[in-house]
Amino acid sequence: MPERIEQWDIFELVLHGPSSNNPFVDIDLSATFRCQDRQINVSGFYDGQGVYRVRFMPVSQGEWTYITHSNHPSLTGKSGSFTCIAPTGNNHGPVRVAHTFHFAYSDGTPYRQIGTTAYAWTHQGEELESQTLETLRHSPFNKIRMCVFPKNYAFNSNEPPLYPFEGTPPNQWDTTRFNPRFFQHFEKRVGQLRDLGIEADIILFHPYDKGRWGFDRMDEASDDRYLKYVIARLSAYRNVWWSLANEFDFMTTKTPADWERYARIVVESDPYGHLRSIHNGRLIYDHNQKWVTHASIQNGSAVEDFGRAVLYRDVYRKPCVFDEVKYEGNIPQRWGNLTAEEMVHRFWQGTIAGTYVGHGETYLHPQDIIWWARGGQLYGQSPSRIAFLRKILEEGPKEGLEPIDKWQDVYTVGQPGQYYLIYFGKERRTEWNFDLPQVGLNAKMRFFVDVIDTWNMTIEALPHSYVMREPDTYRAVADGPVVRLPGRPWIALRIRRDPNDGIVYRDLNKIVYGEG
């Protein structure tokens, strides 16, 4: 009976072949998978000790057949089949772009990015890495940014237990020979993240080596061979995202042509089209490039105040993820000493711009075990508030949140006529008159209002409803009492349409959004 594999899970073909000379460069291995009229070609890889593997993620249900191709007779012409069955549990498939500015899993389930960063957590040894996974299990985070290569930087200067190539530390490597143990360990962690429902945002290159190991300054052939090997091993994991680099512009040995070549290799080598981006230091990459699926941005000021983050949407017309907005912590470096209140505020600022924000934590530790670099435990106060926000987002519209009158009303996001979030940030308002952008609103529509304290994590459902008057040219107000607010910062409103009011929406295609 054919093997049964869930849709978007991993079918792995294991073959045995030559181990002499250098199989990493001497042996080519691939396989063609077919199901009805669909055909997918997949690269295999050498996993050491005469073992070769081909990993495949079935993208549709049904009977799949395969046949291998190789330049070695013992590996070519191997054929077989398996049955792809329906996914179960939290298997929703890879995350894709949805509704232009948002994300959804392949089965259509909305995905609201609530990410964090622990760059070198897979290079810390079993005890600390297990602690990191346990912390993530109880955290709100559904994505983590993580490097393939080890990191040599402040608060993170330890030698890793494993290296990606054969050779002699610190920097005598044979980059034509990979160390299978290193990649077996890394992919084990990716699989554990998948089982926790967490996306692995895999950073393929980074500048924080500075010649210590030399992985940041390999030659062109070594870079290209490394990319193809990593993709062959990892692309069948449904929770993979590709980030070409962290702070790409700080890698002074790489040119714009290099990044274009890397992008081409990733696109051509990944048969599943996982999400792809590249992260900036001071120089923002041109995310209008077709290979970029979403913009990965470092810019804390963009989500520091109203009306800034939304501009990135206008430029790129793609999902915008502010993966680095500085970190909650108390280290001396200015990028790592945000208060918890400020970190939560930046998440909400990104939310009301129709964008997404990433978390990081940098509290001093006697052994320099700082989350942003090495993982371990979280000590800050923002994660519980971010979990509160995540719940609100996941209870919101399936299509995601959109700025409704983005050049005139920087406080309001939602879906016109259905759902609104209004965030007042650091303002200390004591009241709010029910007043919304007129788009999608009709007289007699009925709404309910919740007052949200984003810091104290409370939601007060007001006992009365609000009934819309006839909108004017730009705004619409409702009959009902003034909404009383507590005069504290970090207050938001959630406004939801009464599902029983029976009013038909106006035709949004006939509404003029701008003035000119």
Residue 309, in any domain of the structure: yes
Of 408, 414, 460, the closest CA to residue 440 belongs to 414
CATH of the domain at 102: 3.20.20.80
Residues 295 and 433 in one domain: no
Segment holding 105, helix H or strand E: strand 102-105
Assign residue 407 a region (left: φ > 0; alpha: ψ between -120 and 50; beta: otherwise): alpha
- Residue 215 pLDDT > 70: yes
When divided into structural domains, the chain yields a total of: 3
What is the tens place of the pLDDT at every residue in 221-278?
999 999 999 999 999 999 999 999 999 999 999 999 999 999 999 999 999 999 999 9
Residues 134 and 59 in one domain: no
Retrieve residue 142's tokens: 């559904």
- Residue 120 pLDDT > 50: yes
Question: Residue 346 has what DSSP assignment?
Answer: H
Residue 515, in any domain of the structure: no
For residue 73, the model assigns a pLDDT of 98
Q: Residues near 457 by Cβ (< 8 Å), separated by ≥ 6? A: 384, 385, 388
Residues 196 and 305 in one domain: yes
For residue 181, the model assigns a pLDDT of 98
Residue 277, in any domain of the structure: yes
* pLDDT band (50, 70, 90) for residue 6: very high
Rounded to whole angstroms, how far apart are CA atoms 124 and 370?
Answer: 12
Of 19, 131, 101, the closest CA to residue 399 belongs to 101
Residues 453 and 315 in one domain: no
Residue 516, in any domain of the structure: no
Residue 457, in any domain of the structure: yes
Residue 188 three-state SS: helix
- Residue 366 pLDDT > 80: yes
Mean pLDDT value of segment 388-395: 98
Retrieve residue 145's tokens: 């940014």
Segment holding 451, helix H or strand E: strand 446-453
Contact 132, 375 (CB under 8 A): yes
For residue 1, the model assigns a pLDDT of 65
Domain boundary among 47, 63, 85: 85
pLDDT over 70, % of the chain: 97
- Residue 378 pLDDT > 80: yes
Q: Residues near 57 by Cβ (< 8 Å), separated by ≥ 6? A: 8, 9, 10, 11, 94, 235, 236, 237, 238, 272
Domain boundary among 85, 119, 149: 85
Rounded to whole angstroms, how far apart are CA atoms 385 and 344?
Answer: 7
Residues 130 and 249 in one domain: yes
Rounded to whole angstroms, how far apart are CA atoms 330 and 380?
Answer: 10
Rounded to whole angstroms, how far apart are CA atoms 325 and 348?
Answer: 12
For residue 506, the model assigns a pLDDT of 39
Give the least confident one: 106-110, 155-159, 340-344, 418-422: 155-159
Mean pLDDT value of segment 382-399: 98
Mean pLDDT value of segment 338-362: 98
Instruction: Name the packing angle between helices 126-137 and 180-195 (round to 10°).
Output: 20
CATH of the domain at 34: 2.60.40.10
Mean pLDDT value of segment 71-82: 98
- Residue 107 pLDDT > 60: yes
Burial status of residue 138 (CB atoms within 10 A of its CB: 0-12, 13-18, 19 or more): exposed
Q: Could you tell me which residue, 342 or 503, shows the higher pLDDT? A: 342
Residues 80 and 115 in one domain: no
Residues 339 and 368 in one domain: yes
- The residue segments making up the domain with residue 422 are 404-510
When the pLDDT of each residue in the chain is averaged and rounded to a whole number, the result is: 96
What is the tens place of the pLDDT at every residue in 25-45?
999 999 999 999 999 999 999
* pLDDT band (50, 70, 90) for residue 502: low
Domain boundary among 394, 427, 452: 394
* pLDDT band (50, 70, 90) for residue 512: very low
For residue 116, the model assigns a pLDDT of 98
Residues 67 and 177 in one domain: no
For residue 28, the model assigns a pLDDT of 98
* pLDDT band (50, 70, 90) for residue 442: very high
Segment holding 14, helix H or strand E: strand 11-16
- Residue 46 pLDDT > 60: yes
- Residue 507 pLDDT > 50: no
Residue 399, in any domain of the structure: no
Residues 328 and 416 in one domain: no
Residue 90, in any domain of the structure: no
Rounded to whole angstroms, how far apart are CA atoms 105 and 94?
Answer: 6
Sheet holding 102-105, edge to edge: 95-98, 102-105, 110-111
CATH of the domain at 466: 2.60.40.3950
Residues 264 and 298 in one domain: yes
* pLDDT band (50, 70, 90) for residue 2: confident
Residues 285 and 139 in one domain: yes
Residue 153, in any domain of the structure: yes
- Residue 503 pLDDT > 80: no
Of 101, 95, 97, the closest CA to residue 310 belongs to 101
| Reported pTM | 0.95
The owner of tokens 């329906």 is 86
Residues 171 and 260 in one domain: yes
